[in-house]
Amino acid sequence: MPTPKQARLTPQTLGALRAGVETPAYDRSATQVGIVHFGPGAFHRGHQAWYVDTLLKRDPRWAICAAELRPPGLAAALIPQERLYVVAELDAQIRFRVIGSMKEYLLASQDDDRIFARLIQPQVKLVTLTITEKGYCLAGDELDLQHPDVIHDLAHPTTPRSAIGWVTEGLVRRRAEGVAPFVAISCDNVVGNGHKFRSAVMGMAKARGDKDLESWIAGEVRFPCTMVDSITPATDDALKQKVAESVGLYDDSPVQREAFLQWVIEDILGPDAPDLASVGASLTNDVEAYEQAKIRLLNGAHSTLAYAGLLAGHTSVGEAMGDARLAGFVARMMREDITPTLRGTRGLEFESYINDILQRFRNPALTHRLYQIASDGSQKLPYRILGTIIDALAAGRPIRRLAVPVAAWMTFVVREAKEGRPLNDPLAKVLADVGKGCVGKSGTDLPRFLAVRDVFSADLATEPKFVSAVGAAYEGLDAFLD
């Protein structure tokens, strides 16, 4: 909480901000809601709401109505501040900016009529989500009809619990009012997020038994895929104190993120959408190419730094990048081994993207713990590394360097198991049993790992070139970093 001598951030106290703090360059009272957003957490507030805040300087039609699905959320922090908050950009140069793009903050538990009123307004053109992958209530690619929230929403469609239930009922009401549908945009860090969003809503419409609704959504509602990126650590008391000391006012809900910001959107928004390209978003017909580049270059390099860095005694990404040998290895792997497996598209320049990633990894103001990145390795490895290896093998390219993160992950699992530290992984028990039985020799240990089908397909696990490369790296990781 603020000290007795320190005022809280509100529209009335903005004049007390210290010099250099950027404030909304528009009349907030003159803006109108054009976007409803479900899930107004830190990432949304530091990412999409930042883009919209920039856009409102030139076009007042796109203010945000934030809808909180479940308490405890940010209502107690944001509402007394009239939805103002500070974004702290943490990089070599630290900058502070007050964001004012959130015009309303509504609670699904008590403001359901107001949320639905917004959802059917013709001037609301976009409904956006940041609800994490589990919020889509999917089982595979289909709506999970056994999910408790789905069961509730089908029985009580006018008082939904899930974001999918809210969006579906909102579309039902727009159609009944003769209002054109909004564009439904997932902003979650999920591959093919637009496809998943569409599948969930179509599944809800089908389960409601309204074939006309199902047909209308299928033919009229656009669900663009997106790719979002900006490291946004959780807000804590240390951040609140840092922001208060730096800006001169107390903010109970600041956001911290790196300066790098990326929002790639499938170019199917239509003619009535906000001009997000004018404020830095990238519109493309090939979001998949951007997604693959991010997964393989950014995430693949991250995982490599995590496992190899932890084994070398490092604790953070920045610390690992201070190891010239490891940093050089990762840069070579990105340029010489990963990039050839990627598909180019307009607006995506690989060398520039790699340079941005390496600079982000060296960010002195942001501490990204290697143990955090190392978590859930059994889920991450197939997408971040193994897909690249499969493509490289198919093209006849060497995989010597690409085998290193696989061998490093195996070595990390063995070390954690032998030292009795529990893995943060869905397959923790399976991997712990594998690791405890390892003896440090590839001939004995590799078959134990390669038998884990949730990680390694049978085809890859029996591919001689893959087994040989990983085995060699497992036997002598240090030599492979040269």
Averaged over 299-327, what is the pLDDT? 97
**pLDDT on residue 4:** 54
What's the chain's average pLDDT? 96
Averaged over 77-103, what is the pLDDT? 97
For the stretch 372-429, pLDDT in tens is 999 999 999 999 999 999 999 999 999 999 999 999 999 999 999 999 999 999 999 9
Query: According to DSSP H, which parts of 231-365 are helical?
Result: 237-247, 287-293, 300-311, 317-321, 324-332, 350-361
Quick one: what percent of the chain has pLDDT higher than 70? 99
Tell whether the model's pLDDT for residue 5 goes beyond 70.
no
Averaged over 323-340, what is the pLDDT? 98
213 to each of 80, 118, 122, 173, 219, how far by Cα in Å?
40, 20, 19, 11, 10
* Ordered domains of the chain (ranges, CATH): 11-285 (3.40.50.720), 288-480 (1.10.1040.10)
Averaged over 27-54, what is the pLDDT? 98
**CB 24, CB 53: distance < 8 Å:** yes
Grouping H, G, I as helix, E, B as strand and the rest as coil, residue 444 is helix
**pLDDT on residue 1:** 58
For residue 160, is the peptide bond before it cis, meaning its omega torsion is within 30 degrees of 0?
A: no
**pLDDT on residue 184:** 98
Averaged over 163-181, what is the pLDDT? 98
**pLDDT on residue 71:** 87
For the stretch 235-246, pLDDT in tens is 999 999 999 999
The whole-angstrom separation of Cα 211 and Cα 79 is: 41
Tell whether the model's pLDDT for residue 19 goes beyond 60.
yes
Q: What is the length of the chain?
A: 482
Residues in contact with 440: Cβ distance below 8 Å, sequence separation at least 6, in sequence order = 414
**pLDDT on residue 479:** 86
**pLDDT on residue 253:** 97
For the stretch 359-368, pLDDT in tens is 999 999 988 9
pTM, full prediction: 0.92
Pairing outcome for strands 262-266 and 226-229: antiparallel
Tell whether the model's pLDDT for residue 3 goes beyond 70.
no
For the stretch 424-478, pLDDT in tens is 999 999 999 999 999 999 999 999 999 999 999 999 999 999 999 999 999 999 8
Tell whether the model's pLDDT for residue 14 goes beyond 90.
yes
**pLDDT on residue 91:** 93
Tell whether the model's pLDDT for residue 266 goes beyond 70.
yes
Report residue 189's pLDDT band, with 50, 70 and 90 as the boundaries.
very high
Tell whether the model's pLDDT for residue 312 goes beyond 80.
yes
**Residue 192: CB atoms within 10 Å:** 15
Quick one: what percent of the chain has pLDDT higher than 90? 96
Report residue 74's pLDDT band, with 50, 70 and 90 as the boundaries.
very high
For the stretch 102-150, pLDDT in tens is 999 999 999 999 999 999 999 999 999 999 999 999 999 999 999 999 9
